Chains A and B, each alone.
Chain A
Amino acid sequence: MTETLQNLYVGFSVALAPSVLIYAFVGCVIGTLVGVLPGVGPLAGISLLLPVSFGLNATSAIVLLAGIYYGAMYGGSTTSILMRIPGEAASVMTCIDGYAMTRNGRAGPALAVAAVGSYVAGTISVVALMFLAPPLASFALRFGPPEYFTLLLLGLLALAYMSGGSMLKALAMAVLGLLFGMIGIDPMTGFSRFSFGLVELGDGIGVVPVAVGLFGLSEILLTAGQATAPEVIKPRLRELLPSRQEWRASLWPIGRGTVLGFLIGIIPGSAHIISSFVSYALERRISKHPQRFGQGAIEGVAGPESANNSATSGAFVPMLALGVPSGPIPAVMMAAMMVHGISPGPLLISQQPELFWGFIASMYVGNVVLLILNLPLVGIFVNLLRIPYPLLYPGILMFCVLGVYAVNGSVVDVGIMTVMGALGYLLRKFDFETAPVVLGLVLAPMMEMSFRQSLSMSSGSYSIFITRPIALALLTVGLALLLSSIITFAMRKADWRQRLGSAVAKQ
């Protein structure tokens, strides 16, 4: 403990040195911009700026890139809340209640809660990263394909809580999303599926163009299709901050989101995207008024936003403790270290204490910087809503096209976004929700891969999912959730009959 504190002291002396501090600040600013720009997520932001970091020293480079990573997670909520455009894949869930809050004139509180939730989650998860990294990392590695599959199965259960309307429609949308996820080269055999000879579809269709199309474009089209122009919401200054009641309502969701996000984040792979989905589902499941979700429930913003931020720190656990590239973003950061001649590996902490502890300390500093940066920005961002729609919407459209194109420099992606915009418009006209499509698309490739890897490992025997302890535990949790829902469903049915019965009796 004292040793850790001593190390942390060393770390802070590295992180607070002006040369490092400035890169933490620059990283946070760039990250916020990257997050705000629709389509460009943290991975694209880091990738684009990786070559720039080659000229810096190793510590500054890592601090800069990490700043972009968690800065993007902060910034991602902004466009989701204000314009229903997910800045990156992890902000999809924030679109639902965040944007509903904006329509209710509560954009300021939503943004403020997202910023504070991100700050709390970021800071707590760095503490966890500092003390728990080595033991957690070896636990995380035990997540092989079977464990991963059962975890994703739990993620699929989140579906049940994503839609306030018809369950049948939600399931139909999830299946559509799963089908979209099947496009591309089959990862196990190399066959091309549904790619129609387009080389660009070989890797499947990206989550970002689909999410921006289904959420952002469809919203713009729907607004344009209204008979009377919607009223411009003029935010009032005293309504920028959440009320006392809103603070109280978001306290626990932030806490739960932090723990959940961190735990999902440490698992190698791309599971961190589902942390916000699972958090939203959890909040809705335990809420006393689940019907408020989708109508502007602040818990639906606080939970997912905290979860996706603490998942960021979680993702660093296997990378720092074991030198394992636990996902696409840590892989890029490890490349940045390698360029500087540092081989990220299990010996990193002992061989490069200054880098490791400087990095940890810079994450504390970065989170403070982001909070200071983002809270005043709430006032500015909210004022974007004053822009009349004929000017605002074409501008947003331009940024959507620009952002989606910039990620891969691919026109095909822009095409996908456009088609998804039209599809989203039709679906919403017919009262289908689009969030399950995105969840399906996120889950399908990962689930398919891990399912078939598991069966490869077991030479085709399904028993692998119940003979491995973690997988079995996750399956049991899933089953329990499913049963409990069925029981409440059945109970409610009974209630309804009783009520009807008593009503008839009264008459």
Chain B
Amino acid sequence: MTAISQQHYLTMKNSKATKVLGICHPKVRNHRRGTCPSFFRSDFGARGFFRRVCLTLLIILLLAVTTDSYSQEKYPNRPITIVAPFPPGGVADLTARPVAAAMEKVLKNPVVVVNKTGAAGAVGMASVANSKPDGYNLLMALSSISIIPEADKLFERKPAYTMDQLIPIGLISADPTIFVVSADRPWKSVKEFVDDAKKRPGQISYSSSGVYGTLHMAMEMLSHAGGVSLKHVPYAGAGPALTAILGGHVDTLASGPAVVIPHIKAGKLRPLAGWGAKRVASLPDVPTFKELGYDIEFYIWAGLFAPRGTPEPVMKSIRESVRQAVNTPEFKSAMEKLQTPIAYLDAPEFRKFWDKDAKMLAAAIKRVGKVEIPQAK
């Protein structure tokens, strides 16, 4: 179609279309007046000019539309963008880059990571959710993708995006959070901790990456399952939350293994349990909450999403490329360096995982409700 219409355009001055549409090249018009229909020929005023401009625009538009439908037949034929809704150096960014590099080799097509940050990731996620579903705008999202719409609901504000605007492509990594306490605190096990917390409710504190953030949610699940009430001190990000426990300003923290392991090795933090279904390979002595009888599971995960409405053949091609990409040695070694185990799940399984996770987070947010501000004494 494109090829034809392009030719159309080139041969226009001699074709039937010229006569029918009344388009005359200025030079043609001067030399071969006879070929143009009379009602256009004599008319050099504003109306004729305007009409010509309109028609030219129409043809350009047609060309644009046809090129586009052509591009969908052969996906991909221009750079694909993966939006990381957090700044460079964050988990989303660090996961997106090796994925992009590996996909680029599989698809033999450029894959670019763009950091679109703001409002705890809402800006970037909303931008992909509202983008054109053509397979060229993908999103590397973290667990917080399920939290933001719930929080919007809680505060009755217009949601930045809804979860059904996005469809899962594949889960890349899922790290269970680890429950650590400051090494100079007395608790040696979860049982000791819970017993103590029951004795003095609201006195043992924990830091988090922010209110309704992933680290807050993990601790909320623990306090719900253990039937205890803890004191929450939110910080602006996982880094400051770590600094707070190292400085002794809070007692406990839940965070990813890669973040806490160096400080566990240095003897500053003591791990008590993990939120995973299985123990973390690098912390073989640390039990899971499930082993200890608490039915809670929580992961900080990173997964790839596309906007809803992306055509099925395109989705298939993206899924296939991701599946191949996560199995390349380059990708494996990149993730190993980040100390993040690959936990690849293809779209159907990822959908199940996501639904379960989102339900759990929604319940946790409802339990937290609107945060009460402590009253001054």
Contact = CB atoms under 8 A, between A and B. Distances in A.
A, B bound: yes
A47 to B, nearest CB: 4
A265 B44 CA distance: 72
A456 B233 contact: yes
Nearest to B203: A459
B119 A203 contact: yes
Nearest to A331: B239
Contacts of A153: none
A122 interface: no
A318 B268 CA distance: 15
Interface stretch (A17-25, A222-230, A338-346, A365-373): A338-346
B119 A456 contact: no
B338 A339 contact: yes
Given A47-B87, A144-B244, A460-B376, A187 B119 contact: no
A199 B371 contact: no
Contacts of B377: 459-461
A457 B231 CA distance: 8
B153 to A, nearest CB: 12
B38 interface: no
B243 A268 contact: yes
Interface string A306-350: 000000000000100011111010011011101111011111000
B236 A457 contact: no
A212 B234 CA distance: 31
Nearest to B268: A346
Contact of A200 (B93, B119, B151, B236): B119
A455 B151 contact: no
Nearest to A325: B239
A493 interface: no
B173 to A, nearest CB: 14
A455 B205 CA distance: 12
B242 A324 contact: yes
B28 interface: no
A456 B231 contact: yes
Interface in B258-273: 258, 261-263, 265-266, 268
A490 interface: no
A335 B118 contact: no
A340 B337 contact: yes
Interface stretch (B6-14, B138-146, B154-162, B348-356): B154-162
Contacts of B323: none
B118, B157, B239, B371 pick with most chain A CB within 10 angstroms = B118
Q: How large is the interface on B (under 10, 10 to 19, 20 to 34, 35 or more residues)?
A: 35 or more
A322 B269 CA distance: 13
A484 interface: no
Interface string B237-257: 101101110111110000000
A335 B243 contact: no
B374 A459 contact: yes
A462 B336 CA distance: 46
Contacts of B337: 338-341
Contacts of A430: none
Interface in A114-144: 141-144
Interface string B211-242: 11000000000000000000111111101101
A461 to B, nearest CB: 5
Interface stretch (A99-107, A188-196, A283-291): A188-196
A145 B205 CA distance: 14
Interface in A430-476: 449, 452-453, 455-457, 459-462
A441 to B, nearest CB: 16
Contacts of B310: none
Contacts of B119: 185, 199-203
A459 B236 CA distance: 19
Nearest to A412: B118
Contacts of B37: none
B89, B93, B113, B263 pick with most chain A CB within 10 angstroms = B89
B249 A457 contact: yes
Contact of B266 (A47, A48, A345): A345
Contacts of A388: none
A325 B262 CA distance: 13
28 contacts: A51-B88, A144-B244, A189-B211, A189-B371, A189-B373, A190-B370, A201-B119, A202-B119, A202-B120, A318-B243, A322-B246, A324-B239, A332-B87, A332-B88, A335-B88, A335-B90, A339-B94, A343-B261, A343-B262, A345-B266, A409-B114, A409-B116, A453-B235, A456-B205, A457-B249, A459-B203, A459-B377, A462-B376
Q: What 5 A-B pairs come out closest when comparing CB atoms?
A: A345-B262, A202-B119, A335-B89, A341-B337, A144-B249
Given A190-B154, A199-B119, A457-B231, 19 more contacts: A142-B247, A142-B248, A190-B155, A190-B370, A199-B126, A269-B240, A322-B246, A324-B243, A338-B338, A340-B337, A344-B262, A346-B262, A346-B263, A347-B262, A408-B118, A409-B116, A410-B118, A449-B236, A462-B376
Interface of B: 87-90, 93-94, 97, 113-120, 122-123, 126, 151, 154-155, 157-158, 160, 202-203, 205, 210-212, 231-237, 239-240, 242-244, 246-250, 258, 261-263, 265-266, 268, 334, 336-339, 370-371, 373-377
